[in-house]
Amino acid sequence: MAKVTVDGIEVEIANGSSVLQAAEAAGKEIPRFCYHERLSVAGNCRMCLVEIEKIPKPVASCGQPVADGMVIFTDTENVRKSRRGVMEFLLINHPLDCPICDQGGECDLQDEAVSYGRDTSRYEEGKRAVAQPDWGPLVKTTMTRCIHCTRCIRFSTEIAGVPELGATMRGESMQVGTYVEKALSSELSGNLIDLCPVGALTSKPYAYTARSWELRKTDSVDVLDAVGTNIRIDARGAEVLRILPRLNDDVNEEWLGDKSRFSVDGLKRRRLDRPWLRENGKLRAASWEEVFAAVTNKIKSTTPDRIGAIAGDLVDVESMLALKEMFTSLGSPNLDCRQDGAVFDASQRGFYLFNTSIAGIEEADALLIIGSNSRHEAPVLNARIRKRWLAGNFQAGLIGVAHDLTYATTHVGAGPDAIAALLDGTHPFAEVLKAAKKPMLILGAGALARPDGAAIHAAAWKLAAQFNMMNDDWHGFNVLHHAAARTGALDIGFLPGPEGKATAQMLGGGVDILWLLGADALDTQAIGADTFVIYQGHHGDAGAARADVILPGAAYTEKDGTYVNTEGRVQQGFIAVKPPGDAREDWRILRAISAYMGHALRYDTLQELRAHLVQTYPGFALTGELRRLAGTNLTAPAGDLAAVSSAPFQPVLQNYYQTDPISRASPTMAACVAAHYPTLAEAAE
Amino acid sequence: MNTHIEPTDFVFDDLAEGAVTKAIARYPAGKQASAVMALLDIAQRQMERLTGSAWVPRVAMDAVAQRLGIAAVRVYEMATFYTMYNTKPVGKFHLQVCTTTPCWLRGSDEVVASCKKVSGIEDFGQTSADGLFTMTEVECLGGCVNAPILQINDDYYEDLDAARTEALLNGLKSGAPLPPAGSSIGRQASAPVTNQTALLNNTKPVE
């Protein structure tokens, strides 16, 4: 530890920290453009100048390590003068287009110019202008505004692991860009917009839409993957305009995947804003009373064991609980949340959680990924793995399709045979796992959503046990879901009851009434022709197209909801805007319909529902925090090891950008598919 | 802007391959990226050998990146930063005129004017119609004692004035090979133009 004095305040800070960090520890704000906590130090903007005793010239505090006894001044006349000078140089080539710049109002340069800028410019020469390259459908470039802080270059190289950006040319001709014009191929490219301290990189879909001060900001949780990224929903009036990440070091640090950020325009399209009823083969608009009557009559005239419900991927825990309890009161055990057919033993939480936790990845020293393209299924979590890999002494193995995961991986094999090869030690990667102190494995949906999923689950558990991945202070067995609702659904047991039917049995005419709660990812062709389908959800997607009754629900931005991420972390999102038209929050629809059927659920308000949830499942009492499980319970999951087939693992996501009703409705995501998967886009047309 | 035609592929030929192996071997294992400068130069010389124009097309930068296992953009950064790598085709004779203060004081304007006159080039960065000459403005070449300096391809031509520059370039234009490099007024290395004033066999130091 080094003891330093900042403006007379004594602080103790770890050796190797920078002067800027020391100043922050002392509560002093240092202006900066290029410095960023999560990126390497570049030291090229020079805005963070401070004075240090016994150093004759001002020092860039971001790159200056502290020394014991250092006396730092952050606000002397000399410091101010130096920063003013820096600011004047930065503004030489910066255009005065704040009124038409999307960064206006949330621009670091604008803010600092208020403190350190001159009221008039002394510069009379020509300003530099730079061409606007096309970086694809998400990031809009106005490189004339660029102040060459290189944050975007460092982000794409270090965090995203897709080194496509660089600074070409030099001096006044220096340009930040891709050199060869191309769309950014990172799933995290939207974060460049947040990182850019000026208006050089802004959001293309959001261009000229709103000013930051017009927006109503609501904290929420992303549901487009199972990471549970903390987000802020920015809305104006009844419209969600953009989604930004919120800081949460345990989950997403400050990153957000592109799909989660840019799918907002999908929230306005193909919405179910009124109930629909199928009559003579055609859907017609109906009133709530009509659909309630239709549903009630149909259910009353059907035996309970011929009614089934499948919960989708974006659903909140509250509505699943309401649906589950409604079905229980009707006497039907046919419930399933695994519309992808990922059937495996979920009798213990440890069997289906990402037990290591996302932050815990940083403690691991070896990783085996089985049947997952984590870059597509959970880009933010994948960035955490890359962060761990960058820190060194970390080896990753991959079983499945050999994707580029942005870090070096040893391709152990394409299918379950590779698990066997590791179990009997014939594959050299077994030595890596054996030598590791904290090895972990990630079991993806690609390994579970197949007929032998349960067997592979058991085999992976055996592998974890054999390589000492589970002990008193380490749990290295992880399941990586890609459906945001899945963990919560498993937590509340949204699974077939005794004698109950799972998804596969409900399809093909296994039930007479099928209640799809936002379930669109199943093969609707496989639903029996005579099955009466009730679709409750927010988008006119696959499920609604097949439905006989449509109950318009609320998207995640339109309701208070609880979600459990893949780690088992319970998080709550808040309502940002009202659902459109006649659409209602899903639990309310279920509550109303249950009363109609004479089985009224016991809660009238969300508070009551949540109290009931916590009472029934005490784990939900703890929100936001995560209690990491220790790997002490070595009871193996049920699963016949002999049933493992040798078919190679297949990717679960066809593409990253369109995976759910919201992103499928989004024109921005369609543009991304066109840019990155030209063959897919053609096939869609 | 980029009006030239980029080749569609680039492969190091046998001659270059030997140099590449040698350049990479200079650096310890895991630090091969350090050879990027050498490899770009090798690529540029191969282009000169095969096409008569010393430049590094984009495909060559990609080949360098692939050989060194680094991101292509890291090579683009390098190649565009240094003026010695040409990212566009240049003429057979690349006239690199130093116009930094010492050369300018000693008459680099004359050299520039002569270059323009003989080659027909109108401004820096252009290539003559016959494809013989490309004129580039460069910063200090470090030969200030013998200013003004004109670097043609790899060689320095020093102590130039308008007439001598014209003579030099006219020679090249008529197909003569590049004359020996160095001072155009017969100066020995960077010794004084008039008389040698130092190291005159004096055993005693001058008092």
Contact between B81 and A170 using a beta-carbon 8 Å cutoff:
yes
Q: Is residue B87 part of a domain?
A: no
Judging contacts by C-beta atoms under 8 Å, the chain A residues touching residue B66 are none
A113 — contact with chain B (CB < 8 Å)?
A: no
Q: Span B50-56, mean pLDDT?
A: 94
Crossing angle for the helix pair B36-51 and B14-25, to the nearest 10 degrees: 170
Between the alpha carbon of residue B53 and those of residues A319, B2, B89, B95, the distances in Å are: 70, 16, 6, 13
Q: Is the pLDDT of residue B203 over 80?
A: no
Q: Span B78-106, mean pLDDT?
A: 95
Contact between B72 and A180 using a beta-carbon 8 Å cutoff:
yes
Give A483 to chain B, closest Cα distance, Å.
33
Q: Is residue B200 part of a domain?
A: no
Residue A678's pLDDT is: 87
- A668 CB neighbour count, 10 Å cutoff: 23
Residue in A157, A169, A180 closest to B58 by CB: A180
Both B76 and B102 in a single domain? no
Contact between B76 and A180 using a beta-carbon 8 Å cutoff:
yes
Both B109 and B178 in a single domain? yes
Contacts 24+ apart (CB under 8 A), A679-682: A680/A654, A680/A655
How many structural domains is chain B composed of? 2
Torsion angle, alpha carbons of B12, B17, B20, B21, to 10? 140
Q: Is residue B165 part of a domain?
A: yes
Taking CA–CA distances from A182, the nearest residue in chain B reads B73
B27: domain CATH number is: 1.10.10
Least confident of A333-342, A397-406, A577-586, B197-206: B197-206
Pick from A130, A157, A168, A174 the residue to mutate for testing the B interface (most B CBs within 10 Å): A168
Q: Is the pLDDT of residue A681 over 90?
A: no
The CA radius of gyration of chain B, in Å to the nearest whole number, is 20
How do residues A583-628 score in pLDDT, each as one tens digit?
999 999 999 999 999 989 999 999 999 999 999 999 999 999 998 8
Q: Provide the token pair at A593.
A: 């319909």
Q: Span B113-122, mean pLDDT?
A: 95
Pick from A175, A176, A180 the residue to mutate for testing the B interface (most B CBs within 10 Å): A180
Residue B195's pLDDT is: 74
Q: Is residue B199 part of a domain?
A: no
Between the alpha carbon of residue A42 and those of residues A45, A155, A550, A593, the distances in Å are: 8, 12, 55, 60
> Reduced to 3 DSSP states, what percent helix, strand and coil does chain B have, rounded to the nearest 5?
40, 10, 50
A185 — contact with chain B (CB < 8 Å)?
A: no
Q: pLDDT band at residue A154, thresholds of 50, 70 and 90? A: very high
d(CA A189, CA A163): 11
B98 neighbors B85 (Cβ within 8 angstroms)? no
Q: Span A633-638, mean pLDDT?
A: 89
* Enclosing domain of residue B55: 14-81
Q: Provide the token pair at A229.
A: 């990224």
B124 — contact with chain A (CB < 8 Å)?
A: no
Q: Provide the token pair at A312.
A: 């989708």
Superfamily of structural domain A349-482: Dimethylsulfoxide Reductase, domain 2 (3.40.228.10)
Judging contacts by C-beta atoms under 8 Å, the chain B residues touching residue A167 are 77
Residue B207's pLDDT is: 59
Length of chain A: 685
- Statement: the pTM of the whole predicted model exceeds 0.80: yes
A170 — contact with chain B (CB < 8 Å)?
A: yes
Secondary structure class of B183 (helix, strand, coil): strand
Q: Span A490-500, mean pLDDT?
A: 95
A96 — contact with chain B (CB < 8 Å)?
A: no
Q: Specify the domain boundaries for CATH 3.40.50.740 within chain A.
A: 276-343+486-512+552-621
Q: Is the pLDDT of residue B2 over 50?
A: no
In single-letter form, the type of residue at position A399 comes to I
CATH 3.40.50.720 fits A276-343+486-512+552-621, yes or no: no
DSSP assigned state of A159:
I
B167: domain CATH number is: 3.40.30.10
How do residues A546-555 score in pLDDT, each as one tens digit?
999 999 999 9
Contact between B74 and A169 using a beta-carbon 8 Å cutoff:
no
Taking CA–CA distances from B81, the nearest residue in chain A reads A169
Q: Is residue B2 part of a domain?
A: no
Contact between A168 and B72 using a beta-carbon 8 Å cutoff:
no
Both B62 and B22 in a single domain? yes
Give B7 to chain A, closest Cα distance, Å.
14
A539 neighbors A272 (Cβ within 8 angstroms)? yes
A133 — contact with chain B (CB < 8 Å)?
A: no
Residue B4's pLDDT is: 85
With a pLDDT cut of 90, the percent of chain A lying above it is 95
Give B144 to chain A, closest Cα distance, Å.
23
d(CA A47, CA B125): 35
Q: Could you tell me where the beta strands, DSSP code E, fall in chain B?
A: 93-98, 133-138, 150-152, 155-158, 182-183
Q: Provide the token pair at A280.
A: 């003579």
Q: How confident is the prediction for chain A on average, in pLDDT?
A: 95
B80 — contact with chain A (CB < 8 Å)?
A: yes
Residue B206's pLDDT is: 58
Both B98 and B177 in a single domain? yes
d(CA B16, CA A270): 59
Which residue from A400, A394, A351, A353 is spatially nearest to A374, judged by alpha carbons?
Answer: A400
Q: pLDDT band at residue B205, thresholds of 50, 70 and 90? A: low
Q: Which CATH number fits domain A2-92: 3.30.413.10, 3.10.20.740, 3.90.1150.10, 3.40.50.720?
A: 3.10.20.740
Residues B94, B100, B106: CA angle, nearest 5 degrees: 95
How do residues A217-267 score in pLDDT, each as one tens digit?
999 999 999 999 999 999 999 999 999 999 999 999 999 999 999 999 999
Q: Provide the token pair at A168.
A: 């070409």
Both B168 and B124 in a single domain? yes
Residue B1's pLDDT is: 38
Q: Span A360-373, mean pLDDT?
A: 96
Contact between A180 and B80 using a beta-carbon 8 Å cutoff:
no
Q: Is the pLDDT of residue A181 over 80?
A: yes
Judging contacts by C-beta atoms under 8 Å, the chain A residues touching residue B76 are 166, 168, 179-180
Specify the pairing of strand A307-311 against strand A335-336: parallel
Q: Is the pLDDT of residue A413 over 80?
A: yes
Q: Is residue B193 part of a domain?
A: no
Residue B204's pLDDT is: 67
With a pLDDT cut of 70, the percent of chain A lying above it is 100
- Count contacts between A and B (CB, < 8 Å): 29
Q: Is residue B102 part of a domain?
A: yes
Residue A176's pLDDT is: 95
Quickly tell me which residue has 């005159």 as its tokens. Answer: B200
Q: Span A394-414, mean pLDDT?
A: 95
Both B150 and B177 in a single domain? yes
Report H helices in B52-190: 58-68, 72-81, 101-105, 108-119, 162-173
Both B19 and B71 in a single domain? yes
Give A384 to chain B, closest Cα distance, Å.
21
Q: Is residue B206 part of a domain?
A: no
B74 — contact with chain A (CB < 8 Å)?
A: yes
Judging contacts by C-beta atoms under 8 Å, the chain B residues touching residue A180 are 58, 72, 76
Q: How confident is the prediction for chain B on average, in pLDDT?
A: 92
Residue B196's pLDDT is: 74
String of b and e for A447-457 (b: at least 16 CB within 10 Å)?
A: bbbbebbbbbb
Torsions phi, psi for B62 (to 5 deg): -65, -40
How do residues A505-555 score in pLDDT, each as one tens digit?
999 999 999 999 999 999 999 999 999 999 999 999 999 999 999 999 999
d(CA A201, CA A199): 5
A155 — contact with chain B (CB < 8 Å)?
A: no
Between the alpha carbon of residue A357 and those of residues A352, A384, A622, A623, the distances in Å are: 12, 11, 16, 15
Q: Span B118-133, mean pLDDT?
A: 94
d(CA A467, CA A314): 35
A459 — contact with chain B (CB < 8 Å)?
A: no
Both B26 and B103 in a single domain? no
Specify the pairing of strand A2-6 against strand A71-73: parallel
Both B49 and B129 in a single domain? no
The residues, ordered by sequence, that sit 6+ positions from A170 with a Cβ below 8 Å of its Cβ are B80, B81
Residue A629's pLDDT is: 86
Summary count for chain B: helices (H), strands (E):
7, 5
Contact between A178 and B73 using a beta-carbon 8 Å cutoff:
yes
Q: Span A38-47, mean pLDDT?
A: 95
Q: pLDDT band at residue A685, thresholds of 50, 70 and 90? A: low
Crossing angle for the helix pair B108-119 and B162-173, to the nearest 10 degrees: 30
B148 neighbors B98 (Cβ within 8 angstroms)? yes
B145 neighbors B106 (Cβ within 8 angstroms)? no
Q: Specify the domain boundaries for CATH 3.40.228.10 within chain A.
A: 349-482
Q: What is the CATH number of domain A125-267?
A: 3.30.70.20
A158 — contact with chain B (CB < 8 Å)?
A: no
A165 — contact with chain B (CB < 8 Å)?
A: yes
Work out the burial of residue A80: count CB atoms within 10 Å of its CB; fewer than 13 is exposed, 13-18 middle, 19 or more buried: middle
Which residue from A370, A363, A371 is spatially nearest to A391, judged by alpha carbons?
Answer: A363
Both B136 and B114 in a single domain? yes
Q: Which of B22, B49, B81 is the last residue of a domain?
A: B81
Contact between B73 and A163 using a beta-carbon 8 Å cutoff:
yes
Q: Specify the domain boundaries for CATH 3.10.20.740 within chain A.
A: 2-92
Residue in A165, A169, A170 closest to B73 by CB: A165
A226 neighbors A378 (Cβ within 8 angstroms)? yes
Which residue from A315, A275, A310, A311 is spatially nearest to A295, judged by alpha carbons?
Answer: A275
Both B101 and B68 in a single domain? no
d(CA A177, CA A136): 12
Taking CA–CA distances from A178, the nearest residue in chain B reads B73
Contact between B77 and A168 using a beta-carbon 8 Å cutoff:
yes
Give B121 to chain A, closest Cα distance, Å.
23
Q: Is the pLDDT of residue B198 over 90?
A: no
Torsions phi, psi for A17 (to 5 deg): -70, 160
End-to-end CA distance of chain B: 61
Q: Is the pLDDT of residue A684 over 70?
A: no
